[in-house]
Chain A
Amino acid sequence: MTANGIGAPVRRKEDFRFITGQGQYTDDVVRPGETRAVFVRSPHAHAKIKKIDVAAAKKMPGVVDVLTGAQLATDKVGNLICGWMIHSKDGSPMKMAPHPALAASTVNHVGDAVAVVIAETTAQGKDAAEKVVVDYEVLPAVVDPAKAQAKGAPQIHADVPNNTIYQWHLGDQKAVEAAFKAAKHVTKLDIVNNRLVPNAMEPRAALADYDAGNDSLTLWNTSQNPHVARLVISAFVGIAPEHKLRVIAPDVGGGFGSKIFIYPEEVVCLWAARKVKRPVKWTSERSEAFLTDAHGRDHITRAELALDSNGKILALRAKTIANLGAYMSTFSSSVPTYLYATLLSGQYDIPQIYCEVDAVYTNTVPVDAYRGAGRPEATFVVERLVEVAARQLGLDPTDLRKRNFIKNFPHQTPVIMAYDAGDYNASLKKAIELADVKNFGKRKRESARHGKLRGIGYSTYIEACGIAPSQAVGSLGAGVGLWESAEVRVNPTGSVEVLTGTHAHGQGHETTFAQLVSERLGIPFESVSIVHGDTDKVQFGMGTYGSRSGAVGMSAIVKALDKIEAKAKKVAGFMMEASENDIEFKDGKFTVKGTDKSVGFGDVALNAYIAHKFTGAELEPGLKETSFYDPTNFTFPAGCHICEVEIDQETGKTEIANWVAVDDFGTVINPMIVEGQVHGGIAQGVGQALLEGAVYDANGQLVTGSLMDYTMPRAHDLPSFHVGLTETKSPSNPLGIKGCGEAGAIAAPAAVINAITDALGTEDIAMPATANAVWQAMQKHPPKAA
């Protein structure tokens, strides 16, 4: 390991510009003659648009134009799409209803855009937007997905009976039924996985610039995957052909999944920029973000676990209704299916699993991937079931887990995934030690003396990351491959630029990727720069989500570096008049085997470009290589989180007294960054468990429409985390990386709720377990005196 190489806790390069306010975000980009877009949004959850009158608005000061959905249709701007095909049990394809960027005939959720004002300033745009008169015929709305499927429920989209998009299943239903019949014990749970609002610190933004001379468009936007945005906007929405559309995602302040998707606003900005022949910028406000950023989670699940008399799990069964909101967002169909049910085996050897999922339209904001995407929902189901089963059987929850852990790898689960490596006992054991579980009883008695209830909860989670082998996801319905690309450009002076198809929006790629290159080429960490987020600079890439940038993105860089090394050896061979096969490369030096003849990496780079030592016939000049890496399997990060809570019996308030996280992420490039990712993930998971939850009223109004009512976790809600690592390398990529970005958010909710239910002595508590909710639970089920 070099000082800044793999495994070193290097400080993040990018933080200087972020901390000193010099980051360049979409809203910071200013184009000459820029106008502002202000959207007119529906105040109703469900209504027919009878008429839109823009005449008065157009006369307002500073207004450039006012555009509506009818014009969008006239201009043949295509609908937004969901890019993952799911088939129902009966073989029928999912029912994807049209999603125009501006609604023309019907609005389907509060916040649905019906018109846009293009004005000189935002204030003028807002003044004008108030003058747009929309004549609505209000229709009955439905926000609860179970009610949306019921007879007589308001029909949201034509041709989608019972608002049901698909009825999907996975697993062997008959075998599971047989296993349940034979079981000595069955644990049943009704679970609601609460709807979350992502709230990245930087709100979404888009700036579109039309170049009339070249008939081309440039879009700056807050995207986790600018190439995918360009592909969808070109191929499906049809705004411009791919080669006439440049998408730049500059610094992006947090995504958590919500910036993967292609949204109406960026489409409208592009369309409008061409129409008004001026740049058009839109920057979301926080209240707008609550009503338009794709929400996360929102599952209702009936889950059952079958066990024999020894506490061996025989089968698992789950029936889930997933709320996808008013429209199908870009990857929404995959989240409650292949990103969810495929993880229902957890860390356990479960012979049979069967899962049914109904995806449902409601008059709410679209729901899509949010940190963890399906895997937190699966982990919550599995880890709640296991904990409750242990309690019902009178077993220690760690004991039941150990009896069922998968111990031999590779392990084929009954739900597609083939786990390649792991040591679940090791992380559990280390977590138990770090959490000082053996003195928990003492701490519980101490809490009781102060009128507090203490509880401990476990979550031994697994996730499938390193998304994903293209052929595998293609066979499951994905519309794209999920490989990653890299280009390594060695400059004549020996410094290196790496162009990556991944995108950093908080992950620290500029640091970790440079660590890899520094170690591999033996050049200073400072001599490496990472380029991402611009379709004109970087070759096609798939972006960042699903904890994939290390496992897939860095693997692509490794592959390109292999090619660089091979080519550089050839150059070094010419320089030292030796065969390339005799050249060894180590610590930045090329040496002729068995001699003291050597040349440095910088010299070789220069010689590759001046090309004085070889002819063009012998070798192409230059030192630049490209690679496309397609993983051979998912990766399977796993670990054990232990949460200890203390509940104030009088107020119901839960304090997290201690948190231990022991994770197996395979190879760790930068332990400081990994720890930061774990902290952030736990904060979001604790947020879901204790604080967050989007609430709609029966009319489809978002009650939690601002940070005054939607509770984001704050520093004082969280303890200092105790973080540890175990390591089994992923055999499925060259660096052995598994991924760490989502683990905390996946593991945490179950750990918190298992701890709270342990403290209260009842399983009857839903997320978020606010003080109010815990107090209500204690009224219903008075806790026994400790």
Chain B
Amino acid sequence: MYNFTFHRPTTVRQAAGLLARNPEGKLLAGGHSLLPVMKQRLAQPSALVDLSQVEGMTGVELKGRSVVIGAMTRHADVAKSDVLKEVLPGLASVPGSIGDPQVRNRGTIGGSIANNDPNADYPAACLGLGATIITNKRRIAADDFFTGMFSTALEDGEIIVKVSFPIAKKAAYEKFKHPASGFALVGVFVSKRGPDIRVAVTGAGSNGVFRVKSFEEALKKRFSPKSIEGMTIPASGMNSDIHATPEYRAHLVGVLAKRALAKATA
């Protein structure tokens, strides 16, 4: 690890100021992706701006017909939120599948979304529910937020403050874990909220999380696994590595979508 300065602001404004003064700085929001690469000397931020003490950035709240989760809420706390388990169990199941207990007790939703790892779980949930990412500057629809592998619509100095998830009547996440890392080799989030039907896939695409429009179209008739029976997505554009071929990933998208639908409609 290279040397860096460490800052621990208590307000979002302070954090934004620190970030502005440290153009080579990084926000620390749990650090379970950032710190390992720093230890390996693959990242060299000049400063870390730790968000853990910033007020008002944690908690799961019911607000009208949405659930709002503070960006610094740890995975373990989201997983055990009674409110969330009651109104949106499909989302509540996501953080419990992330990493191991250590990761779940340090890692945060904001950190995960801002990093947009192509195998991370939360991006699928955000896109699969049509969430709104609320920053210190604006509100960004999930459909506009995830712009590619490890890249997002966030601008310099922009900090995710909270994420608002509309409560979908039917929603579920199905994940096939990467055998070594525990990330999603493929993960599929499905939801139905009135006419809005979403099928979002993480882990599979070489450009990060994406929606499967063909499945969504087919599910408009009936939101059921049967509606996409026999449907597949093309293997082109799928990730390829020693753990899964593009064909296998494409196949898993279909299998997991059906399983998620079965869970959502059970």
Contact = CB atoms under 8 A, between A and B. Distances in A.
B245 A776 contact: yes
Contacts of B233: none
B179 A771 contact: yes
B190 interface: no
Interface stretch (A347-355, A519-527, A706-714): A706-714
Contacts of B243: 709, 770, 772
Contact of A126 (B41, B180, B255): B41
A771 B177 CA distance: 10
Contacts, number: 42
A565 B188 CA distance: 71
B180 A707 contact: yes
Contacts of A650: 255
B20 interface: no
Tell which of B41, B181, B242 has the most Cβ of chain A within 10 Å.
B242
A779 B2 CA distance: 48
Contact of A772 (B1, B245, B255): B245
B248 A708 contact: no
B255 A651 contact: yes
A711 B248 contact: no
A287 interface: yes
A126 B243 CA distance: 32
Tell which of B176, B181, B248 has the most Cβ of chain A within 10 Å.
B248
A708 B255 contact: no
Nearest to A779: B247
Nearest to A127: B2
A235 B1 CA distance: 39
Contacts of B41: 126, 130
A650 B242 CA distance: 19
A164 B248 CA distance: 38
B102 interface: no
B252 interface: yes
Interface in A632-670: 650-653
Given A772-B244, A775-B248, A776-B248, A123 B1 contact: yes
B8 interface: no
Contacts of B255: 650-651
A709 B176 contact: no
Given A126-B41, A287-B40, A776-B245, A708 B252 contact: no
B150 to A, nearest CB: 15
A691 B248 CA distance: 17
A432 B176 CA distance: 34
B211 interface: no
Interface in B168-208: 176, 179-181
Interface in B2-59: 2, 40-41
A708 B244 contact: no
B31 to A, nearest CB: 16
A651 B252 contact: yes
B251 interface: yes
A611 interface: no
Interface residues of B, number: 17
Contacts of B247: 779
A720 to B, nearest CB: 21
A88 interface: no
Interface residues of A, number: 25
A127 B181 CA distance: 29
Nearest to A697: B242
Given A695-B242, A709-B242, A770-B243, A775 B251 contact: yes
Contacts of B176: 651, 653, 771
A598 interface: no
Interface in B232-248: 242-245, 247-248
Contacts of B252: 651
A105 interface: no
A238 B41 CA distance: 36
Nearest to A695: B242
A728 interface: no
B40 A770 contact: no
A193 to B, nearest CB: 18
A123 B181 CA distance: 27
B35 to A, nearest CB: 14
Nearest to B180: A711
A770 B243 CA distance: 8
A703 interface: yes
Nearest to A713: B179
A740 B129 CA distance: 54
B179 A704 contact: no
Nearest to A648: B255
Interface in A169-226: none
Interface in A99-125: 123
B245 A770 contact: no
B70 to A, nearest CB: 28
Nearest to B40: A287
A691 B179 contact: yes
Interface string B213-237: 0000000000000000000000000
B40 A709 contact: no
Given A287-B40, A776-B245, A708 B251 contact: no
Interface in A695-751: 695, 703-704, 707-712
Contacts of B245: 772, 776
A470 to B, nearest CB: 42
Contact of A708 (B1, B2, B181): B181
A774 B187 CA distance: 19
Interface in B248-262: 248, 251-252, 255
A558 B118 CA distance: 61
A691 B177 CA distance: 13
Contacts of B248: 652, 772, 775-776
A649 to B, nearest CB: 10
B180 A708 contact: yes
Contacts of A711: 179-180
Contacts of A771: 176, 179
Contacts of A770: 179, 243
A712 B243 CA distance: 14
A126 B40 CA distance: 11
B56 to A, nearest CB: 34
A707 B179 CA distance: 10
A127 B3 CA distance: 10
Nearest to B249: A772
A651 B244 CA distance: 11
A779 B245 CA distance: 13
Nearest to B3: A123
A653 B243 CA distance: 12
Nearest to A652: B248
Nearest to A717: B179
A653 B248 CA distance: 12
A775 B255 CA distance: 12
A704 B40 contact: no
Contacts of A691: 179-180
A652 to B, nearest CB: 8
A771 B252 CA distance: 11
A34 to B, nearest CB: 20
B115 to A, nearest CB: 15
Interface in A121-139: 123, 126-127, 130
Nearest to B100: A714
A130 B2 CA distance: 12
Interface of B: 1-2, 40-41, 176, 179-181, 242-245, 247-248, 251-252, 255
Given A709-B243, A772-B245, 20 more contacts: A126-B41, A652-B248, A653-B176, A691-B179, A691-B180, A695-B242, A704-B180, A707-B181, A709-B242, A710-B180, A711-B179, A712-B180, A770-B179, A770-B243, A771-B179, A772-B248, A775-B248, A776-B245, A776-B248, A779-B247
18 contacts: A126-B41, A287-B40, A651-B255, A691-B180, A695-B242, A703-B242, A704-B242, A709-B243, A710-B180, A711-B179, A712-B180, A770-B243, A771-B179, A772-B245, A772-B248, A775-B248, A775-B251, A779-B247
> Which 5 residue pairs are nearest across A and B when measured between Cβ atoms?
A711-B180, A711-B179, A708-B181, A650-B255, A772-B244
